[in-house]
């Protein structure tokens, strides 16, 4: 049974950083074939902590390999799973030596990381420096694990020549020879799927890349669209991606680049090598949604109304404006801080130069502290700035799909800039009456009944001391 603490950790990492693209760590299970593991050569790989919270040491393949036999290379691609980090599926390469029972089929998985230090791992994801490595497990164990998780499994036995298969073998053995070997995981450029793509390209002398890199992604989708589609059932993750992915995620991509997703790797391998994928196991539960649909748009629209409507009512009624202003400003500033922070610290190309930095500005926090005249001036400046951003987006200078986010920021500033503030009666009286008028009126009848001394000169009584 899956450890709920590990599941929560995986969800946290998905929301925080990689939008569900981080594959689950490998967990070794007992070999269901009953074949005794071969004698291992070299240092054991690092201990892993997988989704089940079990610390394991996956087996390493025996060395040296049979000198006269090249392995059969098999690509397994795995369908989506329950967790957000499993929605993109997974992929692994396996080596089979059919003529030597001492070398059972071993699979190589480049989606392995340690969860012993989750904060360090999360920070590595944000920076684009997450430490991942390749782990090994027996084919039977790999298939049993994904069968237990009710995942669809596709198999493709690749028609490589002996020389090409040896290239794959040597690359896999080299990456597992050093227990300290790591690679910097990046969402779209360097993950468990692109590593296998690059190895297959190495095997065929670069022909795989030469063909697929020249052809555009067949559906015309971008990194953003391909990355958000499988997350349709996780709108919070989609919303996070909508805010933190930058302009590089919205450029047209090639077939080669689309293989960051394991399902695209499977399709391109079938197209290039002519090997149809065979489903060795079908998912028994309901199929997972893979098309984004409305995504996070309804939530963003709700926030736009939430920010603007109470503020408009407060200004028209002449009361509650300060509270309504805080309700609008605090979320906008928090969104700005998240966007600016991720943009500054990440090294992932698809997270840098985020155009939403021109929409959500931390300086908006000063708004509740400004006097009415300065507040209105600031709001009008922001409306003009957002209008300019909209124009640049409309003519294609800006590229990110951010119309809804623009509306979120534009609505409250438009209210402050153009909705007249109604003065409360007390405020209006205070404004109209001169200072001291109210004080004079407090005398009432006592002040008004007293006769007013006549103006001008008066006759003084004679001086008793005498004098003419």
Residues 303 and 275 both lie in one domain: no
Coil, helix or strand at residue 275: coil
Residues 197 and 342 both lie in one domain: no
Amino acid 59: pLDDT: 43
Residue with tokens 């003009």: 384
Residues 263 and 308 both lie in one domain: no
Amino acid 388: pLDDT: 97
pLDDT digits (tens, 9 = 90+) for 59-75: 444 445 555 678 999 99
Residue with tokens 């060795």: 280
Give the structural domain span for 377. 297-418
How far separated are the first and last CA of the chain, in Å rounded?
124
The residues of the chain scoring below 70 in pLDDT are 1-68, 99-101, 424-468
Residues 277 and 414 both lie in one domain: no
Number of C-beta neighbours around residue 41 at 10 A:
11
Residues 15 and 154 both lie in one domain: yes
Pairing of strands 153-157, 130-138: unpaired
Residues 19 and 121 both lie in one domain: yes
Amino acid 172: pLDDT: 95
326, part of any domain: yes
Half-sphere exposure of 240 (CA within 13 A, CB side): 17
Alpha helices in 98-138 (DSSP H): 118-127
Domain count across the chain: 2
Half-sphere exposure of 65 (CA within 13 A, CB side): 22
21, part of any domain: yes
Coil, helix or strand at residue 96: strand
Adjacency order of strands within the sheet including 183-185: 183-185, 130-138, 106-112, 90-96, 72-78, 153-157, 278-281
Residues 189 and 338 both lie in one domain: no
Amino acid 343: pLDDT: 92
Distance CA 390, CA 403 (A): 8
Residues 325 and 229 both lie in one domain: no
452, part of any domain: no
Amino acid 444: pLDDT: 43
141, part of any domain: yes
Coil, helix or strand at residue 49: strand
pLDDT digits (tens, 9 = 90+) for 175-201: 999 888 888 888 899 999 999 999 999
Amino acid 139: pLDDT: 93
Distance CA 435, CA 432 (A): 9
123, part of any domain: yes
Residues 162 and 225 both lie in one domain: yes
Coil, helix or strand at residue 143: helix
Residues 359 and 400 both lie in one domain: yes
Residues 309 and 215 both lie in one domain: no
462, part of any domain: no
427, part of any domain: no
468, part of any domain: no
Last residue of a domain, one of 234, 252, 281: 281
């Amino acid at each position: 049974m899956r450890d709920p603490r590990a599941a929560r950790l995986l969800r946290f990492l998905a929301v925080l950083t990689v939008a569900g693209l981080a594959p689950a760590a490998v967990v070794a299970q007992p070999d269901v074939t009953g074949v005794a593991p071969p004698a291992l050569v070299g240092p054991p790989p690092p201990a892993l902590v997988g989704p089940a919270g079990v610390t394991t040491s996956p087996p390493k393949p025996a060395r040296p390999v049979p000198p006269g036999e090249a392995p059969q290379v098999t690509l397994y691609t795995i369908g989506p799973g329950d967790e957000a980090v499993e929605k993109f599926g997974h992929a692994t390469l396996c080596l089979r030596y059919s003529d030597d029972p001492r070398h059972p089929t071993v699979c190589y998985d480049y989606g392995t990381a340690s969860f012993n230090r989750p904060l360090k791992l999360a920070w590595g994801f944000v920076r684009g420096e997450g430490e991942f490595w390749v782990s090994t497990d027996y084919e039977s164990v790999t298939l049993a694990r994904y069968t237990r998780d009710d995942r669809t499994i596709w198999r493709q036995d690749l028609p490589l020549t002996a020389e090409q298969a040896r290239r794959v073998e040597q690359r896999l053995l080299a990456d597992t020879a050093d227990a300290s070997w790591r690679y910097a995981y990046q969402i779209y450029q360097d993950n468990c799927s692109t590593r296998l793509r690059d190895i297959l390209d190495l095997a065929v002398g670069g022909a795989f890349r030469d063909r697929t890199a020249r052809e555009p992604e067949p559906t015309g989708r971008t990194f953003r669209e391909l990355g958000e589609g499988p997350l349709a059932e996780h709108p919070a993750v989609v919303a996070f991606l909508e805010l933190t992915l930058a302009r590089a995620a919205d450029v047209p991509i090639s077939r080669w680049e689309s293989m960051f997703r394991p399902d695209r790797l499977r399709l391109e391998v079938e197209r290039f090598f002519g090997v149809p994928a065979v489903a060795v196991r079908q998912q028994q539960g309901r199929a997972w949604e893979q098309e984004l649909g409305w995504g996070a748009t309804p939530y963003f629209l709700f926030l736009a109304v939430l920010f603007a409507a109470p503020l408009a009512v407060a200004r028209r009624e002449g009361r509650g404006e300060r509270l309504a202003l805080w309700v609008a400003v605090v979320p906008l500033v928090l969104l700005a801080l998240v966007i600016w922070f991720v943009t500054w610290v990440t090294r992932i190309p698809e997270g840098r130069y985020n155009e939403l930095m021109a929409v959500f500005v931390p300086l908006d926090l000063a708004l509740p502290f400004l006097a009415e005249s300065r507040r209105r001036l600031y709001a009008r400046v922001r409306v003009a700035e957002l209008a300019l951003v909209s124009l640049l987006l409309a003519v294609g200078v800006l590229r990110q799909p951010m119309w809804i986010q623009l509306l979120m920021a534009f609505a409250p500033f438009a209210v402050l800039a153009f909705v007249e503030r109604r003065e409360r009666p007390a405020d209006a009286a205070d404004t109209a009456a001169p200072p001291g008028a109210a004080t004079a009126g407090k005398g009432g009848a006592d002040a008004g009944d007293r006769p007013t001394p006549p103006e001008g000169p008066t006759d003084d009584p004679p001086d008793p001391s005498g004098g003419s």
